[in-house]
Amino acid sequence: MEGFNRTKTVLFSTLCLTLFLSVPLCVASSSSSIHDLLRSKGLPAGLLPKEIKSYNLNQDGLLEVFLEGPCLTKFENRVFFDSVVRANLSYGSLIGVVGLSQEELFLWLPVKGIINDDPKSGLILFDIGVAHKQLSLSLFEDPPDCKPTGVLKNHVKKGLDVLKWKR
């Protein structure tokens, strides 16, 4: 009987350890990990640039992405990423986005949400507050390179500073 109880204890401990090790970690420092996370949530990897230092994802779905620094890239238009980008991540969407702006007709507008509710359509929806803009998913296949904002001309950089101040 004593050997039977010992075997049950070992089996139970092994099961608990296996379950503990199978729970995904919510903090990572690899930029490829954040891109894999986006893919697993039905979003294209290229929504975020290559220059990711780390990210946090809490149990409520709040995603915090830490970049090397503020930077610019281009999808269809120019896009500005702040040092930290936050959003609520759920399957197929990033809602309540903070730290991401898109240039539209010489204006910098904050991106408030990104939704991919029908991947078969080949389109992804960007909520830029005043409008919704559909872009081709093909623009977001690969993570883009993001240039530091220091390479901007002064007047454009000042415009971005004003945008940050208004938030």
pLDDT tens-digit profile of 101-121? 999 888 999 999 999 988 889
pTM value is 0.71
Between 167 and 109, the higher pLDDT residue? 109
Between 106 and 157, the higher pLDDT residue? 106
Q: What is the pLDDT of residue 1?
A: 55
Burial 60-94 (b: 16+ CB within 10 A, else e): eeebbbebeebbbbebeeebbbbeebbbebeeebb
**How confident is the model over 85-104, as a mean pLDDT?**
96
CA angle 27/70/32 to nearest 5° reads: 35
Percent of the chain at pLDDT exceeding 70: 70
CB neighbours of residue 150 within 10 Å? 9
Which architecture does CATH list for 34-165?
Roll (2.30)
